[in-house]
Amino acid sequence: MSALGFRCVVAAVCVTFGLAFWKAAAGPTAVAQIKSRQDKLRDMGGALKAINDELKKRTIDWDNTVVPNAQTIKDRSGYLLNWFPKGSGPESGVKTYALPAIWQNNDDFVTLGKVAQVEAAKLNQVALSKDANALKAQVEAMGKACKACHDNYRSPDSEKEDEN
């Protein structure tokens, strides 16, 4: 092997190990960010489902189900826009349903996130008022706010997995 060929092999090995080291060093942070985000969003979805399920019952359990779940949605929504730092999308190499459009159309994403925050605060207020008709309307509004974001910024593959 010529000296030039040997240097190319050494350079290729260094680049390969450098990239592997960089991915390993960045990996745990991205994994933690994405897992945390997914857990919190799943909690919010579960809380909204629990409230919606209460609406189907003859008697609504306001104190043990509706009010605490509405509070969870409100509290978590306040941090929603912080859960999507650059580098925590598909480019991280971690399985995520967050589409690159979040960062490409960030102004729109932020607008939709703020709408969700407003709807979550309203949901909490309605839950505290214990008005079943208002709750039904606000659960629908909250669902629409979630859907508006999911339609453009969440992979359709996530819907298939949610069904399983």
16 pLDDT higher than 70: no
102 pLDDT higher than 60: yes
Q: What is the pTM of this model?
A: 0.80
**pLDDT tens for residues 116-154?**
999 999 999 999 999 999 999 999 999 999 999 999 999
Instruction: Spell out the residues 6+ positions from residue 29 whose beta carbon is closer than 8 angstroms to its own.
Output: none
Instruction: Spell out the residues 6+ positions from residue 134 whose beta carbon is closer than 8 angstroms to its own.
Output: 126
54 pLDDT higher than 90: yes
The pLDDT-based confidence of 30 (bands split at 50, 70, 90) is: confident
Q: How far is CA 61 from CA 47, 93, 117, 142, in A?
A: 14, 42, 24, 19
4 pLDDT higher than 60: no
End-to-end CA distance of the chain, in Å?
Answer: 55
Residue 27 has a pLDDT of 64
Q: Which of 47-61, 105-119, 149-163 has the lowest mean pLDDT?
A: 149-163
85 pLDDT higher than 80: yes
As a whole number of angstroms, the distance between CA 28 and CA 102 comes to 21
Q: Above pLDDT 70, what percent of the chain? A: 80
The pLDDT-based confidence of 164 (bands split at 50, 70, 90) is: very low
Element (H, E) at 31: helix 3-55
- Contact assessment for residue 27 and residue 93, using Cβ atoms and an 8 Å cutoff: yes
Rg of the Cα atoms in the chain: 22
**pLDDT tens for residues 70-81?**
999 999 999 999
Residue 13 has a pLDDT of 42
26 pLDDT higher than 70: no
